[in-house]
Structure 1
Amino acid sequence: MMKRGLALLLTAGLLAGLTGCAASGEDASDGAEKVRLMVWSPSNDQSKDSGEWLQTMCERFADEHPEWDITFVYGVADEASAAGQVSQDPEASADVFMFANDTLTTMTDAPWEPTTWLI
């Protein structure tokens, strides 16, 4: 579980820092850049019964990066099907998501160029 959290945080940091994700380019009143991140994870990572793990990790990430005013948009995608969803419609897909390592070829064979990879 700790690996998953670290992977999510590193991916979010890379995406926000290197690509700007869906940043509007506007600054918040406190000087922080406004950023919108769509984050997908399996439903059990977001459930109250599991302690809302995803939301907690995203909040921690935002706390550690006050230079961004991050709005998180959560979606549900299991690790087995996320790569397929992203390769079908990358524009409508999440900025940050978890995927099963055996689906990596699905993403590398897709007709789009990812901006950041964390393997």
Structure 2
Amino acid sequence: MQDQLVLAVATALATKGSEALITGGGGALGRLYRLLRDRFRSSGVGTSGLDAATDDPDEVDRVELAEKIGRLMAADPDLRTRVEALWRGAAAELAMQSGGVINQFSGVADRVLQARDIGGDASL
């Protein structure tokens, strides 16, 4: 069974990767693409699968791309940590593009309230 993180990354690169690169690649998805591209190159695997994901996303085999990414991450635990961190940012960016809500909390608290579009009165 494929790692869900790896499948999500491969799918996002295939569906939104070219958009991320066209807009300058400054967001988390663009940084994720560049990180993986550099790792593919340095590992000697080549970037053909990754390039295909951005060049012709309808024709790319996402499962095959996910398997390649998974092998790179299995060989390098540091890469997995970096991919996870960039993926959190990329997932947030993708949710914002589709009008989604991003509620994130980091730290320690007794109570946390996160909301969007509260109608009417709210008392806390």
TM-score normalised to structure 2 length: 0.26
TM-score normalised to structure 1 length: 0.27
Q: Which has the higher strand share?
A: 1
**Larger-Rg structure:** 2
